[in-house]
Amino acid sequence: MAELTQAEVHEALTRLGDYVRLAQAPLVSHFPQLESVVQLDERAEKLRAILLEAIEALGPPRPTSFGSPESRAREALTMRYVEEMSIEDMAAELSVSRRQVYRDLGLAEKRLTQLLSSWACPTQQGPQTAAPGDTIGEELSLFSSRPAEVQLRRVLDDALSLVQPLANELGVKLKLVSPLDERIRVVGDLAFTRQVLVRALSLAVQATTAGEIAIGVEVQDERVVLHLGFSAPEPFAFAEGLETIRRITQSQGMACEALSQSPGKVDLTLTLCRRAPKRVLIVEDNPGAVELYRRYLPVEDWQVEATSDSRVAFELIKALKPHVVILDIMMPHVDGWTVLRDLKENPQTRKTPIVICSIANDPMLARALGAAASLSKPVSQAQLLVALHRCLGE
């Protein structure tokens, strides 16, 4: 099979918004699981998902600034091909020259090509690497999360009891070195939170070169940080397992990091939220826009729900009781202006703040019909977050 080229990657990126042309992109030939898909829209959707996941994988765990070298590739590709920003707009937003934007894009596409090559069907000389979404991604997408207040002491005790047999077998002591008030609660799905704690404890038990895991708890205003201190060799032999935990925690608004306190000493931290995220309902028929908004809204702060059918917006708002709604205008069946008017005329939904995000933006009409804010596409992350926080009086 021919080698995957940067030109093929670039061509596919330029077709992200055109499903017909994306489905026929030469890049498809490097992924056998895509070539076997007959329906063009389904093939395009799968390739788009691979590209977006690869772009996300180029950077470190969010949040991070554009100035961070690890994030420049991801942000450059997102702005140019997902948000469809012009070179001039990117230069203005980032306060850099047009030449620097082109340079960043070139380097980013090179890195993306290297990553996709490792995911694609291998040549005869190379080892096969599974494409993204085959294991962890698929499981996470199928898991229905139900965030709620969880008593940390209870879920930690459950996790410790599950890992204790493994610790006994390996001769490792699990020691709680700081008191844990039973009143401390965190926000998250109970099963997910327990699973993260079990995975982290098991990883530490199997990785340590000493006979003890010191478990500490640091309570902050909006976070609880769980510290697992132990001895382990460098480089860490458990990097693969750590990456699995990171992916799981990121999907639920948590965080996992392994820090070297001193040579041979590791502090594995799990950061959990103490406050519930705000719920936002996206009424948008463009799946690309929904994906973009999801990436803009940190899962630790926002619980995102979405529908592509404007006809069900009223019922969803009554059922979900979102803190704010993001509404498109140009949609089939019922346009956004009609939805906005009807929601504001109904006593059950009139108090819900609505942010208009559309290429058919008309701020004066939006305000007259009751919208809390009105943004023109393409919308940047900063614009969207500012609008949402203002709607909530933050």
Q: Identify the CATH number of the domain in which residue 68 sits.
A: 1.20.140
Number of domains the chain contains: 3
d(CA 99, CA 191): 49
Which of 273, 301, 319 marks a domain boundary?
A: 273
159 within domain boundaries: yes
1 within domain boundaries: no
- pLDDT digits (tens), the chain, 394 positions: 578 999 999 999 999 888 888 989 999 998 888 878 888 878 888 898 888 878 877 765 444 444 444 556 777 888 888 888 899 988 887 788 888 889 889 988 988 998 888 787 443 333 333 444 445 555 655 555 666 778 899 999 999 999 999 999 999 999 999 888 888 888 877 888 898 999 999 999 988 888 899 999 998 877 899 999 998 876 554 556 787 788 778 777 788 888 776 777 888 899 888 776 788 999 998 888 888 898 888 876 788 899 988 989 999 998 889 999 999 999 988 999 999 999 999 999 999 999 999 988 899 999 999 999 999 888 888 889 999 989 988 7
Residue located via tokens 């063009």: 40
Q: Are residues 10 and 128 in the same domain?
A: yes
Domain of residue 262 covers 148-273
User: Whole-model pTM?
Assistant: 0.47
Report which residue type is found at 77. L
Q: Are residues 88 and 158 in the same domain?
A: no
Q: Are strands 324-327 and 278-283 parallel, antiparallel or unpaired?
A: parallel
Q: Are residues 319 and 361 in the same domain?
A: yes
> How many angstroms separate the Cα of 139 from the Cα of each of 132, 192, 247?
12, 12, 11
E strand intervals along 253-328? 255-262, 265-273, 278-283, 302-307, 324-327
143 within domain boundaries: no
The dihedral formed by the CA atoms of 358, 360, 365 and 371, expressed in degrees to the nearest 10: -10
Burial of 248 (0-12, 13-18, 19+ CB in 10 A): buried
Q: Are residues 291 and 248 in the same domain?
A: no
Which of 111, 134, 157 marks a domain boundary?
A: 134
Q: Are residues 354 and 262 in the same domain?
A: no
Which of 134, 156, 184 marks a domain boundary?
A: 134
